[in-house]
Every structure is written in structure tokens, then in C-alpha cells.
Chain A
Amino acid sequence: MKSARNHKLAFWLTFCPPTLWMLIFLLVPILIIGIFSFSAKQGLVDISASWVLDNHIRAFDPVYLSVFFKSIGIAALTTLICFLIGFPVAIGIASAPKSWKPVLLMIVVLPFWVNLLIRTYALIAVFRTRGFFNFSLEWVANLFGIPFEPLTLLYNDAAVILGLVYIHLPFMILPLYAGFEGFNKSLLEAASDLGAQQFKIITAIVLPIMAPSIISGCILVFIPALGSFLTPELLGGPSSQMIANVIERQFLAANDWPFGSALSMMLIYLTFGALALRYFWLRRRNFSSTENKP
């Protein structure tokens, strides 16, 4: 037996580094942004912590509100598409033969090995007017002798959503896959045995039991999609700017750090709101599908 002192040491050694990390690189910056958001700009570079609400009030200006709503809309649509694609894929991987699973999961996470910027440029290379996608269409069109006009696929909202779905899909597939792995398959047989049809089995058994995984997947996609900067910057057109692009412009182009901070705080409130909803929803459900085993 180790002494309590030894255990204490082990505790502090494992507890401190991540806590310090979170403190220095997450809480302190948020705090600084928080203070900035209540400050006023003085001259070109100076900011005084004057505890004014001006910036927050300005953030509710219809111009910025519409960007917020647009961002929420794009993030929500991205989440929905990720779910519609990820759900069957996750079922497929979970019910694949054992030896295939690691390979399939590897394929899902493989894009993480490539830098986001490079992947986004790759998407541009595929979908631009003189890109691989248009080349392929042109080849097919020539085959049938149809006149071909290259499609404009980039620099619009659809391109942004496509990019976001491509980037965030693994974050939906992985929690759903984990959920299906733990799903007791005999529940499906039990429901069928009791007379339920396919549709009823999905709505009454699969979706409610999978709900925590679905919520996790949706949160993991929705939150980063909401704050995404690179994708709308590179793939979006002038009207498909999201809130992160506006924030960036406040900090750099407009040199208005207090207002940029206020907009950032709005984004943080939204994120925490989403997390809080998930927390309260999970707390209300006091069961887990693994607890059914005798």
C-alpha cells in the first residue's frame, strides 16, 4: 500500500498540468476578452476598461444580428446534413465485420492527418470553375456530345456548407458509432418480436436510446461550425460571411478590439447555451442503455 502522501503527490501531479493549461490558455483569455468587451477604445491603440455596455448594445444592431442568424442557420444546416450522412455511416461501421472496423474508422479520421488549410485548398482545387469536378462533368458531356458550360460551385453559401460538412463529418460519425457499438442489438429483435415495424423500431427504440450520442455528435459539429472562420473565408462569397469573419475584421481591419470582443462574447454565450441545454437534457434522462444488463 502506498501512503496517503504518495497518493496526494500523484493526485497533484496529474491534476495540476491540465488545470493550469485550461486556466492559462482558456479561462484567462476568455476573461481578457470579457474585460475588453466592456471597455472603450481610446485613440488608435489604447483601450480603457471603463465598464460600458456600448459594445454589447451595438452587437444587437440588425446588421450583426443578421450575421449571427445566418451563422446559426449555416451551422444548423451543416449539423443536419452531417447527421443525415453520419447516421447510416455509423450504423454501417458498427455492424461491419470485426476485422473491417479499424480500417473503416481509420478512413473516417484520415482527413485529420492533413492540415485544415490544405484540405480547404484541396476543395477549391476540386470545385473551382477549372477544377476536377467540372473537368469530369465536361468529359462526360463531351462523351455524349452535349455542349458544356462550367458550373460555378464556389464562393456561395452552398460551398461553405459543403466545406463545413466535409470538415465536421468525423465529429458526427465517431460519437454515433460509439453509441451504436454499445447498443444492445437484442432490443431491436425484442421490438420486432413484439410486433413493431421497421419505422416504429427506429422512432420508439433506436432514436430515444441513441439520443445522448446524437446530441453529442450534434454539439460537436454545431459549436465549431458556428465559430468557423477559414471555411467561409476561403469558400464563401461576399454574402456568406459568418460571425467569425466579422469578428476577425473588427480586430484587424477595423482595429476595434472592444467591439470584436463583444461579438466574441456573444459567440461564447451561444456556445455555453448549447452546452447547458445538453447538460440539463442529459440530467433529466436518468438512465443509460448499458444499465439494462442484469
Chain B
Amino acid sequence: MNRSILQLKGISKNYGTLEAIKEIDLNIFEGEFFSIIGPSGCGKTTLLRVLAGFEITDSGSLYIENINMQNVPPNKRPINMVFQSYALFPHMNVLDNVAFGLRVDGVARGEQTQLVKSMLSLVKLSGLENRLPHQLSGGQLQRVALARALIKKPRVLLLDEPLSALDAKLRNEMRQELIRLQKSLGITFILVTHDQQEALSMADRIAVMNDGTIQQVASPSYLYEFPSNKFVADFIGSINFIECQLSEIDGDVFKFITKISKDAFTVEGNKSLRIGQDCWLGIRPEKISFKDSYVVNPHHNKLSGVVTNITYFGQASMYHVEVTGEKTATINVMENHSQRSSYTTNKVGDSVVLCWSTESISVFTS
């Protein structure tokens, strides 16, 4: 799993004056399910098209299994792609679509039939060989697109928002299907998506992109719990940002004063910050509790406010708590309903004290 299959070094691509991707360095390992995620316009699709060979880069180099791919056209790269709108050939039936890649490679007829047959059964499309694309459902089109790309036995499979055209139930089903295919074939998958749930639930590692640059590359749980900057923290999951100023450093203990209410928070860690620096403390809604709901630990941070709104989800509720002091801020608190009850712990208008452990705080500068 640690053998590198794909390496990008300082890849840049401009469209006129627009810098679509800037100096991208990335290392993708053999057999991993990698995901590139970011808001629209962040350059993730451009990056994928660079890998496929559809875009010529302005600088940097791209290696696949240590071979420079800079001047290798798309049809010669050991990479295949599943397109966002599938791009199935409308005049060919399922069999011809899937066999296309083998035919242009001049694979013998008998072998073609054999390979197509086993590929169709792998993606559960046996029996639909003679259907034309317009006679297939969304999920079936998706499977044909997958089969057509996978039959070439690529070293790397690129997937451009492959599930965005499917409805929620089918999407969930295809997620499991993609994971199953990836694990059973052992092919490196690179999935581009704007849907963080998709990336978190499927990928081994995720690269978060913004504004043409990679912000962080990490496993889904590391990304969620230890975001490296404010953008990543905000993009993955939901998070509260509390505006603070660093007032005291005592060894590993940092003391912050919030600009909202002048409450003091302590964070332990090893950070290069200076006194007086403006920071953001990031805390996820589910890591915050109401004071009376458990024993208060002296190391916990506290903040008081009033519940202004409650969003009920069934398994959990999101409380919107307004904290007023010199400034007003809304803190979101997620409470899981682990006990069966027909009412929520707090009601709108209740005064509450929020607390959280110092370990669950992330500190961001700027």
C-alpha cells in the first residue's frame, strides 16, 4: 500500500489569466482509494483532466510508476476515466461500449467476448449486452461506464463525480459497489467529488482542494478531527469558530481570551504562536455538551448562552445557542439522543452553559 504509483511535482495549469491549479505536489499510492474534494471551481476537475491527459500542464511533472507522462497522450496512458455524464457511445449497445477499449487495442475476438462477459458479471450487468444506453437506468449507465473503463485494466481509475447524477438511495448502493470493486480489483481509484459524505465514506485518503491548491491530504478521520487550517475545518463537517486572542503561554498550556464574552479558554499543545495573536478556536458541534448533563471537569472550557433555535434530526438535535457579550455569536451544539424521549433536553429560550474538553479544540491562525 505504500508503493507510490502516481506522483505530481509542481503541476500548474492556467486558462488565460486564471490559475486553475497552482504548484500541486501529490503522491498517490498503489491500490488506495484516493479522493479529491473541494468546492466547485477549486481546480479538482482540472487536476483530474491533467492526470487523464486531456489538459496540457504549464509546468511541473507527472509520473506514473516512475515514468514521465508529460508528453504521453490520453490514449497511451495506463489510466482510464469514468466521466461525470458517463459519455457512453449512444449508437453502441452495452457490449460494444464495454468492448470498445479492447477493440482499439486489437484484442482477439474470442478473448474480447470472454473479458466482456466476466466484466459485465462483475458489475452485475449480465443479460443487458444488447441494450442501447438510452434503454438503461441511471445506475445501469454508471455500471456500463465503470465496466468500459475497468476492462482496460488501468493502473489508475479516475472517477469524475460519478454518483452526482444518481438519486440518494442508488448513490448509497453505488458507493458500496465502488468500494467492493476497488478492493476486489486492487486498482488505484481517484475519485473527484464535491460531496464530503461521499469522500469520507469511501476514500482511504482525501485531498482537500481550494483555490487551485491542496490544503491537506489525510485519512478521513484525521481530516475531520485534525484539520490543518480553517478552510478544511469548515469544508469537512460543520464546526464552530470562536474568535480569540492568545493571552498567556505557560509551557504547553495556551490561554485564550474570547472576543465574544471575555471568557478564558485553555488549550494544551505544542504550537508556534505569540502572545496577542488573533486566533480562531474550532470546535465541532458534537464535541460540546451542556454543563448539567455531565460532571464538570476543571480542565473543560465553558461558555454560557441562550438557546435560540433547535433543529431536530431524529437521532440527534442541533441547538443554536446565542452567546452575547461584547459581540454576539451563535454556537451550534449537536446532542445525540441516546435515550428514548419525546422531548429535547433544552427548549428555545433556555439559558445554558456549554462546555468541552480542551483536547477537542483546534487552533487556527488568520
Question: Can you name the residue of chain B whose Cβ is closest to the Cβ of A194?
Answer: B101
Contact partners of B355 in chain A: CB under 8 A: none
Q: Which one of A186, A192, A287 lies within 8 Å of B75 (CB-CB)?
A: A192
Q: Which one of B85, B152, B165 lies within 8 Å of A184 (CB-CB)?
A: B85
CA distance A289 to B85 in the complex (A): 13
How many of A's residues come within 8 Å of B, CB to CB? 26
Are B91 and A193 touching (Cβ within 8 A)?
no
What sequence of 0s and 1s flags, for each residue 179-192 of chain A, a beta carbon within 8 Å of any chain B beta carbon? 00000101101111
Interface membership of B86, Cβ < 8 A: yes
Question: Can you name the residue of chain A whose Cβ is closest to the Cβ of B91?
Answer: A208
CA distance A189 to B76 in the complex (A): 13
What sequence of 0s and 1s flags, for each residue 256-294 of chain A, a beta carbon within 8 Å of any chain B beta carbon? 000000000000000000000000000001111101111
Interface membership of A209, Cβ < 8 A: yes
Chain B residues 221-248 with CB under 8 Å of chain A are: none
Question: Can you name the residue of chain A whose Cβ is closest to the Cβ of B96?
Answer: A204
Interface membership of A91, Cβ < 8 A: no
CA distance A286 to B132 in the complex (A): 9
Are A190 and B91 touching (Cβ within 8 A)?
no
Query: Considering residues B74, B132, B141, which has the most beta carbons from chain A within 10 angstroms of its beta carbon?
Result: B74
Are A193 and B52 touching (Cβ within 8 A)?
yes
Interface membership of A200, Cβ < 8 A: yes
Name the distance in Å between B253's Cβ and chain A's nearest Cβ. 55
What sequence of 0s and 1s flags, for each residue 25-59 of chain A, a beta carbon within 8 Å of any chain B beta carbon? 00000000000000000000000000000000000
CA distance A257 to B101 in the complex (A): 62
Name the distance in Å between A99's Cβ and chain B's nearest Cβ. 15
Are A196 and B90 touching (Cβ within 8 A)?
no
Are A189 and B133 touching (Cβ within 8 A)?
no
Interface membership of A205, Cβ < 8 A: yes
Interface membership of B46, Cβ < 8 A: no
Contact partners of A186 in chain B: CB under 8 A: 83-85, 87
What sequence of 0s and 1s flags, for each residue 231-253 of chain A, a beta carbon within 8 Å of any chain B beta carbon? 00000000000000000000000
CA distance A138 to B241 in the complex (A): 82
Are A294 and B83 touching (Cβ within 8 A)?
no
Are A292 and B86 touching (Cβ within 8 A)?
yes
Contact partners of A189 in chain B: CB under 8 A: 52, 54, 74, 81, 83, 87
Are A291 and B104 touching (Cβ within 8 A)?
no
Chain B residues 242-291 with CB under 8 Å of chain A are: none
CA distance A194 to B153 in the complex (A): 11
How many of B's residues come within 8 Å of A, CB to CB? 32
Contact partners of B86 in chain A: CB under 8 A: 292, 294
Q: Which one of B80, B81, B90, B105 lies within 8 Å of A288 (CB-CB)?
A: B90
Question: Can you name the residue of chain A whose Cβ is closest to the Cβ of B138?
Answer: A294
Chain A residues 159-201 with CB under 8 Å of chain B are: 184, 186-187, 189-197, 200
Are B74 and A193 touching (Cβ within 8 A)?
yes
Question: Can you name the residue of chain B whose Cβ is closest to the Cβ of A286?
Answer: B132
How many cross-chain pairs have Cβ atoms below 8 Å apart between A and B?
88
Contact partners of A195 in chain B: CB under 8 A: 75-76, 101, 104-105, 152
Given contacts A294-B141, A294-B165, contact A190 B83 (CB under 8 A): yes
Are B100 and A191 touching (Cβ within 8 A)?
yes
CA distance A197 to B89 in the complex (A): 16
Name the distance in Å between A201's Cβ and chain B's nearest Cβ. 9
Interface membership of B155, Cβ < 8 A: no
Given contacts A195-B152, A285-B91, contact A293 B105 (CB under 8 A): no
CA distance A187 to B89 in the complex (A): 7
What sequence of 0s and 1s flags, for each residue 198-210 of chain B, a beta carbon within 8 Å of any chain A beta carbon? 0000000000000
Interface membership of B299, Cβ < 8 A: no
Name the distance in Å between A53's Cβ and chain B's nearest Cβ. 45
Contact partners of B81 in chain A: CB under 8 A: 189-190, 193
Are B134 and A193 touching (Cβ within 8 A)?
no
Q: Which one of B83, B84, B104 lies within 8 Å of A196 (CB-CB)?
A: B104
Query: Considering residues A186, A190, A204, A288, which has the most beta carbons from chain B within 10 angstroms of its beta carbon?
Result: A190
CA distance A30 to B54 in the complex (A): 56
Name the distance in Å between A19's Cβ and chain B's nearest Cβ. 33
Q: Which one of A187, A197, A286 lies within 8 Å of B87 (CB-CB)?
A: A187
Interface membership of B88, Cβ < 8 A: yes
CA distance A6 to B134 in the complex (A): 38
CA distance A191 to B105 in the complex (A): 12
Contact partners of A184 in chain B: CB under 8 A: 85, 87
CA distance A42 to B61 in the complex (A): 89
Are A200 and B83 touching (Cβ within 8 A)?
no
Chain B residues 64-83 with CB under 8 Å of chain A are: 73-76, 79-81, 83
User: Apart from A187-B87, A196-B104, A294-B165, what are 6 other A-B pairs with CB-CB below 8 Å?
Assistant: A186-B84, A193-B74, A194-B152, A195-B105, A287-B134, A292-B85
Can you list 25 residue pairs at the A/B interface with Cβ under 8 Å?
Answer: A186-B84, A187-B89, A187-B90, A189-B74, A190-B87, A190-B88, A191-B100, A192-B54, A192-B73, A192-B75, A193-B53, A193-B74, A193-B75, A193-B80, A194-B152, A195-B104, A196-B75, A196-B100, A197-B104, A205-B89, A285-B91, A287-B90, A291-B90, A291-B134, A294-B141
The 10 closest A-B pairs by CB, nearest first: A291-B134, A194-B101, A190-B87, A292-B90, A186-B87, A294-B165, A196-B104, A192-B74, A195-B104, A208-B91
What residues of chain B have their CB less than 8 Å away from a CB belonging to chain A?
Answer: 52-54, 73-76, 79-81, 83-91, 100-101, 104-105, 132-134, 138, 141, 148-149, 152, 165
What residues of chain A have their CB less than 8 Å away from a CB belonging to chain B?
Answer: 184, 186-187, 189-197, 200, 204-205, 208-209, 285-289, 291-294
